[in-house]
Structure 1
Amino acid sequence: MNSPCRSLTWNPPIDGFILPNPKGLLRPLGFSEFSIIMLHRFSLYGFLKNQRYFEPFLILILLEKGLDFFQIGLLIGFQEGCINLMEIPSGAAADLYGRRRAMILSFISYIISFVLFALSHSMILLTTAVFFFAIGEAFRTGTHKAMIFNWLESEGQTKKKTMVYGFTRSWSKIGSALSVLVATGLVFYTGDYASIFWFSIPPYILAIINFLGYPAYLDGQSKVELSLSKIIDHFWASINQAWKRVSIRRLIIESMGFGGLFKINKSYLQPILQQTALTLPILVGLMQIKRSAILIGIVYFILHLLSSVASRQAHRLVALKKSAEHASKFLWQIYLSLFIVLVPGFLLDWDGLIIASFLMMAIVQNFWRPLIVSRFDDHSTSDKGATMLSIESQSKSVGTMLFAPLIGRLVDQFGFLPLAFFGLFISLSIMLRFYRKSYPE
């Protein structure tokens, strides 16, 4: 059989993958030529999705618009609350009426939110922007993972889901690293944070075009007329499946604690970096916003590159620890240790130690995500795949919704130290509850 790839000189297999020399394109061992194209489409989605040039500066943008940390916490809590209300029904709708359509709707909502964020100067408009952003998140999370897992099932490669999801996630992080460099350049050139929302729109238009190239079978098997009652029935069937099983309840609580803690803590890295930039005896001739942009850009670029490596190696951690549960326990132990380290860091104002701890948290999180997603998928059927993975994402949102306003108020009153104590409490509680003995997976 003639193939355009036959003329390439291939390296030997490396951990299940073959690397072609000329172009450096990754070719998975055992996948068809068409599936190689789909793997790159999945990776392109993650790359374009993370061209959010505002993200490394979002908290600083909100502070610049006159909000305090409590108000920012309220916005974050509102966003996560909206995601919670829409997440599982949106996953059910995607399972029933087409996952590609759900993804396109998601990215249109993102674009609307970017426009509103760029123009907003009042809490009402910012809340509206957050609402549209939440629609985008609700229809995206879980849905695209379900498409990837459906594709793996059709290829007979379900055993490689942690590896493949980790690979596509690594491209998301490469996209994030590139977006940080672009964002830093934009802020440095314009001297303004808010204008970078406009530059995030073109990549999202390209992502919509990418979805149009996905095969129709990834929409799912169900083809029925639109009915709210069918969505509700599908939703409650998935909820009952989740809560009747101890193993899934446990995963929900773990995802709520781990993901919720990380999502909140990473928000405070930006003001910490801004505070650090002002104390450094370098670049003193630059405007404050440009000094902050340079340090934030450097740290976030390193963060995303390390996160990309971590995502690709998640399957190795599972193999090393012999099971997903043991790998999860190991990650919780690291998480707990990092919060212990943060206590003297905040008390003694050791900025280097604080920043290094936040970087380590990001790395641990990117080992965690492919692992927890695969564990959830192990407990779902293909017809409820997007719904079950939306439950996973929703559990993380619940943690953020509950914790964000409270931590915001504490940070306003006492500085950043409550971040460490709150993380210690949650991490230790889950370790004592679930990892003193083995639970069924």
Structure 2
Amino acid sequence: MNTFEKDRQYYKFCFYGFLKNLRFFEAFLLLFFLESGLSFFQIGWLYAVREISRNLFEIPAGFISDGIGRKKTMVTSFSVYILGFLLFYFSGSFWLFVLPMILMAVGDAFRSGTHKAMIFDYLKAKGWADQKVTYYGHTRSWSQMGSAISALLAATVVFLGDEYRIIFLFSIVPYILDLINLATYPSYLNGTIAKNPGTNFRASLKRIWQEFAYTFRNSIVLKAIGNQSFYTGFYKSLKDYIQPMLQALAIASPLLITLPDKKRTSILIGLFYFGMFFLNAVSSRNSKNFLLLFSSQRTALNTSFLLGIGLATVSSLFYLKGHLIAAVLCFACIYFVENLRKPIGISFIAENIPSGIMASVLSVESQVHSITAAVLAPLTVWLADLFGIGYALLLICGVAILISPLIVLPMRGKD
């Protein structure tokens, strides 16, 4: 088996992920909305707007990326992100938050499948195609390390400034640096059409569509996308609920009792997210070792899917019983499972599709998890408003268990 080299482009990919995840607001986003006077129901609709908008743009973004060039697509994505950060800073009500949420969705749509396609094309060009899980796991580990550093820095800003809003402005700096990093990527990672500018654009898009349609007649590809995407959508719709759990734990804790609640919450969230994302980085880096525990990629994906749903169920039960520390720890494991399985799932999908439409198909994977999150996010917050967070999470886990037979991969067949 070939092993990859940690060349200059490897570090550019890692640097990209590290800077991209310096979203200082993410660890405090739900609390920011609550502080702005929004109800859980309104927050759920904002999340739904984001996921529906991402859903609308995902496949067009993949076609545009495969058609006009991936570097241009990435530059567009990061420019839109920066505009969204600015609008968040100046907004203060439900309706004003809608536009920056849409812009974040557009940025995600143009970025998600595009950069993965660049990584896999690079591996193919270097003869390292069999190293997809390990290589992507390495680059993803740097993304998680960025999230870990981001949480600490954001907590420091909130502690010193006593407000959540300012962290949106701080998030602009790493995104400008990432724009510069992306500009240095080699031109051959632009994609097939971008490498052949004389190619008729309409004919090229027709070819992409034909390959795209052919690929999606493959039942294994459909199952793989369903398996990978549903768990990611489930994870994304629930992941921010760890913030009010941590807030409740901080307020109930006797530690640092002389400090105001917001400062105590910022310290606990910063330290917790740092530790969690650091362990996420380790889990992403060891995704290949996790895969080796199983007889096939299919078994690894099915097992991790059911494990994640089970952990979410146990976490909700602990929360209902008032065991906040146990609830938080189980909830954190949902993050770990996502980072163990993500490189395996993306690699499995990439191995079963033509490289020329990789950005398009990976955009579909991202679109499906956006649809899942768009459905589950408002449902979860509606249930949270009615019954509280614990019962809301438990009911959503029940929905996931009912759906799981439809998206578990068949065990027979070749990876």
TM-score using structure 2 length: 0.94
Deviation, 1:80, is: 0.9
Structure 2 vs 1, CA of residues 411 and 134 (structure 1 numbering), >3 Å: closer, same or farther? same
Once residues 204 and 233 of structure 2 are traced to their aligned partners in structure 1, the CA distance between those partners, rounded to angstroms, is 27
1:297 to 270, 285, 305: 270
1:60-88 per-position Cα deviation (integer Å, ceiling 9, x unaligned):
11111111111111111111111111111
Whole-Å Cα distance in 1 between the matches of residues 412 and 402 of structure 2? Answer: 17
Question: What is residue 365 of structure 2 aligned with on the other side?
Answer: 392
CA contact (8 A) 1:335 1:427 kept: no
Which of 397, 402, 414 lines up with 1:423 in the alignment? 397
Quick check: which one's helix share is greater?
A: 2
Displacement, 1:423? 1.6
Out of 272, 281, 284, the residue aligned to residue 311 of structure 1 is 284
Q: In structure 1, what is the equivalent of residue 356 of structure 2?
A: 383
Supply the AA of the counterpart residue of 1:356: L
Q: Find the counterpart in structure 2 of residue 20 from structure 1.
A: none
Q: 2:89 — aligned with what?
A: 118
Deviation of 1:307 after TM superposition, in Å, equals: 0.5
Contact 2:4 2:135 in 1 (8 A): no
Instruction: Name the counterpart of 1:245.
Output: 218
Residues 141-152 of structure 1: pairs in structure 2 closer than 5 A: 141-152=112-123
Query: Are residue 154 (structure 1) and residue 148 (structure 2) matched?
Result: no
Deviation at 1:96, TM superposition (A): 1.4
- The reply on whether 1:70 has 2:41 as its aligned counterpart is yes
Equivalent residues of 1:53, 1:200 under 8 A apart = yes
Residues 227 and 305 in structure 2, CA contact (< 8 A), matched pair in contact too: no
- Counterpart for residue 4 of structure 1: none
- Does the aligned pair in 1 maintain the 2:381–2:392 contact within 8 Å? no
Distance in 1, Cα, partners of 2:192 & 2:38: 46
Q: Which residue of 2 aligns with 1:7?
A: none
Q: Give the Cα separation in 2 of the matches to 1:274 and 1:307.
A: 22
Q: TM-score, normalised by structure 1?
A: 0.89
Per the alignment, residue 379 of structure 2 pairs with 406
The answer for the alignment partner of 1:267 in structure 2 is: 240
Three-state SS of the structure 1 residue aligned to 2:163 is coil
Matched AA of 2:228 = S
Question: Counterparts of 1:82 and 1:427 in 2: how far apart (Å)?
Answer: 27
Question: Which runs of structure 2 are paired with 1:12-411 in the superposition (5 Å)?
Answer: 29-31=3-5, 36-223=7-194, 224=197, 233=206, 236-237=209-210, 239-411=212-384
Deviations along 1:204-255, whole A, 9 cap, x unmatched?
0000000111000000121458999668646643552343111122122213
SS at match of 2:7: helix
What is the CA distance between 1:93 and its match in structure 2? Answer: 0.8
Shift of 1:188: 0.4
Give distance in 2, aligned partners of 1:257 and 1:423: 12
- 1:336 positional shift: 3.2
Opposite residue 404 of structure 2, the aligned amino acid is: I
* C-alpha spacing 1:433/1:250, structure 2 compared with 1 (3 Å): closer
1:319-349 deviation per Cα after TM superposition (whole angstroms, max 9, x unaligned): 2212100111221231232133124312211
Correspondence for 1:6:
none
Report the secondary structure of 1:367's partner residue: helix
Q: Distance in 1 between matches of 2:316 and 2:388?
A: 12
Q: Which amino acid aligns with 2:240?
A: S
Cα distance in 1 for residues equivalent to 2:38 and 2:354: 44
Give the Cα–Cα distance (whole angstroms) in 1 for the partners of residues 256 and 214 of structure 2.
57
Identity %: 36
Change (3 A) 1:83 1:234: farther
* Equivalent position SS for 2:309: helix
The answer as to whether partners of 2:82 and 2:175 remain within 8 angstroms in 1 is yes
Q: Which amino acid aligns with 2:253?
A: L
CA distance 1:91–1:226, change in 2 (3 Å): farther
Q: Which amino acid aligns with 1:270?
A: Q
Distance 1:383 1:123, change over 3 A: same
Q: Label 1:357 to 1:227 Cα distance change in 2 as closer, same or farther (>3 A).
A: farther
Aligned residue type for 2:264: R
User: Alpha-carbon deviation of 1:434?
Assistant: 2.7
Counterpart of 1:83, as a letter, is R
Separation in 2, partners of 1:81, 1:151:
31
Q: Give yes or no for contact 2:212–2:357 (8 Å, CA) kept in 1.
A: no
Name the aligned partner's letter for residue 259 of structure 1. T
- Please tell me whether the aligned partners of residues 165 and 370 of structure 1 are also in contact (alpha carbons under 8 angstroms): yes
Q: Give the direction of change, closer, same or farther, for the CA distance of 1:235–1:76 in structure 2 (3 Å limit).
A: farther
Change in CA separation of 1:63 and 1:252 when aligned onto 2, cut-off 3 Å: same
Cα distance 1:118–1:438, how it changes in 2: closer, same or farther (>3 A)?
Answer: same
Aligned partners of 1:302, 1:120: CA distance in 2, in Å?
A: 31
Contact 1:89/1:232, CA 8 A, preserved across alignment: no
Which deviates further from its counterpart, 87-96 or 221-230?
221-230
Q: Distance in 2 between matches of 1:139 and 1:98?
A: 11
Helix, strand or coil at the partner of 1:355 = helix
Deviation at 1:395, TM superposition (A): 1.1
| Superposition deviation, residue 358 in structure 1 | 1.2
Partner Cα separation in structure 1 for residue 112 and residue 106 of structure 2: 10
Q: Given the superposition, is the C-alpha separation of residues 230 and 137 from structure 1 closer, same or farther in structure 2, using an over 3 Å criterion? A: farther
Counterpart of 2:131 in 1: which secondary structure?
helix
Once the two structures are TM-superposed, the CA of residue 256 in structure 1 deviates from its matched residue by 3.3
Look up the match of 1:3: none
The 8 Å contact of residues 97 and 226 in structure 1, kept in 2 or not, is answered as no
Contact kept, 8 Å, 2:299 with 2:411, in 1: the verdict is no
